Amino acid sequence: MRQHPSSGSVTISRRLFMAAGALALTGIGIRATQANMVIGKAKEVTGNVTRKQEDHLEGLQTGASILDRDFVATGPESFAVLELGDDTMLRLGSETELLIDSFIAGQGGVIELGTGQMVFDRPEGLAKIDLTMRTAFGMIGVRGTKFFAGPSRGVFAVFVEHGRVAVTGGGVTREVGPGEGVEIAAPGAVPGEIVQWGEARIREAYASAGIR
C-alpha cells in the first residue's frame, strides 16, 4: 500500500512558483520542442491526476500520451509515474504540480516543479542528458542520475541516490553526489551544507513520491 508523507510539508504557492520561473537559465544548449509533440506516456496513475495543455484540462489515465508543455497535477493521495523517452522516469507524489517546459529524448530539457515532490529516475550507465529543473527555491542541474526533490522534514530538500546534481539558490551552487542531500530553507535562500542522508530519511522522501 502506498504511503502518504508523515513528516512536515512545504507549500509553495502557484504565484510564487511562477515568479520564480523567471530565473535565468544558461548553458542548456537545447531548443524547446514544439508544443503538442508526444514525448512520453503515463506509465502509472493512481487516484486523481490531471493534465492541462494550453486551455484544455482532462484526467490523465495510465497509458495516455505525455506532450511537451503538459502541466500535470496530482490530487491528495494520488501519484503518477511519467515515462519520458525510453528511459527517463518522473515519479510524482501527491498534491504535486509539474510543467514539462521542453524535453527531447536522449538530450534533456527543462521541467518546472511547483508544489509537491518528485523523483527523477534515469538508470546508470546511459549517456548523460542535459536537464534543468526550476523550483521556487532555485534550480537543479541534472546530468543523468536519480534524485529526489521536494519537501522533506519541513524544508525543501534534494537527495541524490546516484549521479550528481548542481543545486543553485541565492547565487550559490552546491554539487550534490551519491548518498548526499542538501536543504534550502526558503525561496531564494542559499543551499545549506551538504550532508549524508540516513536510511530513515531516504525512505520518508521516496514514500512521499509514491515509492515503497
Query: d(Cα 166, Cα 180) in Å, to the nearest integer?
Result: 12
pTM of structure: 0.82
**Unique residue bearing C-alpha cell 534534494:** 158
> pLDDT at position 35, please?
53
Which residues lie closer than 8 Å to 36 by C-beta, 6 or more apart? 53, 67, 68, 69
Which residues are bridge partners to 118 per DSSP?
Answer: 92, 149
> pLDDT at position 91, please?
98
> pLDDT at position 1, please?
42
| pLDDT string in tens for the chain (212-residue length) | 444 444 444 444 444 444 444 333 333 333 333 457 899 999 999 999 999 998 899 999 999 999 999 999 999 999 999 999 989 999 999 999 999 999 988 888 999 999 999 999 998 888 888 899 999 999 999 977 899 999 999 999 999 999 999 999 999 999 999 999 999 999 999 999 999 999 999 999 999 999 97
Which residues are bridge partners to 84 per DSSP?
Answer: 40, 88
> pLDDT at position 144, please?
73
The single-letter code of the amino acid at 134 is R
CATH number for the domain whose boundaries are 14-208: 2.60.120.1440
Query: d(Cα 173, Cα 12) in Å, to the nearest integer?
Result: 21
Query: d(Cα 165, Cα 162) in Å, to the nearest integer?
Result: 9
> pLDDT at position 106, please?
81
Whether residue 72 contacts residue 59, with contact meaning beta carbons closer than 8 Å, is answered with: no
Whether residue 93 contacts residue 106, with contact meaning beta carbons closer than 8 Å, is answered with: no
CA 203 vs CA 20, 75, 139, 140: distances in Å: 29, 21, 24, 21
